[in-house]
């Protein structure tokens, strides 16, 4: 172990002098609460007081501060379907308190005076549709009745409260396009789409990836792992789906489910198609692979079956005995679509044009 130099009040040893620059070089963010940035009102966030944050060679202790669209580095209002990043900035003036900027840029804010040496990304959030809920997180109508008349359309446009993340309260992966479900679990707000780098992303208005692009259960797991995510198990998927309205046969009002639909559609476009956890399109559009398998209980001819096309064989009670669960429903399933809809009849090695995926990630 190297020598630890103790503070010397006579300053006889230069190496022992404690300076702000030295503290900043070794310090991480220190806060009494990991979620030190929180949703506080429509279009507003609050930075809690007392967090200690190093930015370059400076150290700041936060004061309670309200953030809003006034903190944007360019536009005057938040845009629907966008991810935003919150930066603490050091303007180099000893007389100034911390400066906060909100930006669509994930590296550092716009402005010739800002770069990665004098700014630090400390959090972020997603702006889009938000389902109104009661104090217990249950779906309600405008009168506050749980699942009362018209509850399906009680949705607003706002900062998604459970999408707010900080450097200490966030998923292990890139937090963009994700929302917190509780119990250390985050989920993609949107059905996964191709990120252009053989992985997956959660992005508003994108085309959901399905078997049309060669996706099956195995490939969905591989692509999720490349971006630090995974498929949800059934219990996790049900938590994400809670409070999303049942589909309709004759309308796309509550989700992309009308029996006259002929194909998938871009994600996040239907206002009512949102759960109490602010997860979009979880009932309708495309089914979602779930990380659970089951066996056909009627099959009884155990043997090795070559169904994997060059990836080995499966020992099972018939050639079609192994099934992977899917949840939610697809574009023309109508009233069959819903927050507890599950289908147990699909083979994990097959590609289906009507099955996509949504990812989850554990907290950092």
CA atoms within 13 A on the CB side of 24: 16
294/324 Cα distance (integer angstroms)? 6
C-alpha dist (Å) from residue 96 to 24, 61, 67: 18, 12, 17
Q: How many residues does the chain have?
A: 364
Per-residue confidence of the chain (364 residues) as pLDDT tens digits? 333 344 455 555 554 445 555 555 556 899 999 999 999 999 999 999 999 999 988 899 999 999 999 999 999 999 999 999 999 999 887 767 789 999 999 999 999 999 999 999 999 999 999 999 999 999 999 999 999 999 999 999 999 999 999 999 999 999 999 999 999 999 999 999 999 999 999 999 999 999 999 999 999 999 999 999 999 999 999 999 999 999 999 999 999 999 999 999 999 999 999 999 999 999 999 999 999 999 998 888 999 999 999 999 999 999 999 999 999 999 999 999 999 999 999 999 999 999 999 999 999 9
Are the C-beta atoms of 200 and 227 separated by less than 8 Å? yes
Q: What is the pLDDT of residues 322-364, one digit of tens each?
A: 999 999 999 999 999 999 999 999 999 999 999 999 999 999 9
User: Residues 6 or more apart from 142 whose CB is under 8 A from it?
Assistant: 132, 150, 154
HSE, CB side, 13 Å, CA atoms: give it for residue 338: 8
**Residue 322, SS3 per DSSP:** strand
In whole angstroms, what is the distance from residue 27 CA to residue 111 CA?
Answer: 26
Token pair of 22, please? 């030295």
**Structural domains of the chain sorted by starting position, each given as residue range(s) with its CATH number in brackets:** 14-150+157-162 (2.80.20.10), 171-362 (3.90.1580.10)
State the Rg of the chain over Cα.
24
Contact in structure between 293 and 234 (CB atoms under 8 Å): no
Looking at the DSSP bridge assignments, the partners of residue 201 are 193
Strands 165-166 and 360-362: unpaired
pLDDT tens readout for residues 146-158: 999 999 999 999 9
Q: Is 288 left (phi over 0), alpha (psi -120 to 50) or beta?
A: beta
Q: Provide the percentage of residues in the chain whose pLDDT is more than 70.
A: 92
Which pair of structure tokens corresponds to residue 105? 């840029």
- Taken in order 136, 327, 363, 106, the sign of the CA dihedral is negative
CA atoms within 13 A on the CB side of 175: 28
The pTM for the full model equals 0.93
Asked if 254 and 339 touch (Cβ cutoff 8 Å), the reply is: no
Sign of CA dihedral 67, 68, 74, 80: positive
């Amino acid at each position: 172990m190297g020598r630890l130099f103790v503070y010397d009040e006579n300053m006889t040893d230069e190496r022992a002098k404690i300076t702000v620059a030295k503290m900043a070089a070794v310090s991480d963010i220190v806060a009494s609460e990991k979620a030190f940035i929180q949703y506080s009102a429509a279009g507003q966030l609050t930075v809690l007081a007392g967090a200690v944050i190093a930015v370059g060679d400076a150290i700041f202790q936060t004061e309670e501060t309200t953030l809003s669209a006034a903190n944007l580095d360019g536009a005057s209002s938040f845009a629907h379907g966008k991810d935003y990043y919150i930066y603490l900035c050091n303007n180099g003036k000893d007389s100034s308190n911390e400066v906060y900027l909100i930006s669509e840029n994930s590296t550092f804010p716009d402005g010739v005076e800002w770069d990665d040496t004098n700014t630090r990304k400390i959090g972020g959030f997603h702006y889009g549709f938000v389902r109104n809920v009661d104090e217990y997180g249950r779906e309600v109508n405008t009168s506050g009745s749980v699942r009362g008349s018209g509850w399906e359309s009680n949705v607003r446009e706002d900062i998604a409260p459970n999408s707010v993340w900080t450097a200490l309260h966030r998923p292990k992966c890139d937090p963009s396009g994700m929302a917190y479900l509780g119990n250390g679990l985050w989920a993609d707000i949107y059905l996964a789409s191709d990120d252009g780098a053989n992985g997956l992303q959660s992005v508003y208005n994108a085309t959901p990836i399905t078997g049309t692009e060669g996706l099956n259960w195995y490939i969905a797991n591989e692509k999720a792992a490349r971006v630090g995510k995974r498929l949800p198990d059934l219990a996790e998927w049900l938590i994400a789906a809670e409070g999303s309205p049942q589909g309709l046969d004759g309308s796309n009002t509550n989700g992309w489910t009308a029996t006259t639909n002929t194909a998938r559609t871009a994600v996040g476009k239907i206002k009512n198609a949102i759960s109490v956890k602010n997860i979009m399109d979880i009932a309708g559009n495309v089914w979602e692979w779930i990380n659970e398998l089951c066996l056909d209980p009627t099959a009884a001819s155990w043997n090795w079956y070559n169904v994997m096309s060059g990836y080995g064989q499966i020992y099972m009670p018939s050639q079609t005995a192994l099934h992977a669960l899917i949840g939610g429903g697809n574009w023309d399933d109508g009233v069959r679509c819903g927050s507890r809809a599950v289908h147990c009849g699909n083979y994990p090695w097959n590609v289906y044009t009507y099955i996509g995926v949504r990812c989850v990630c554990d907290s950092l």
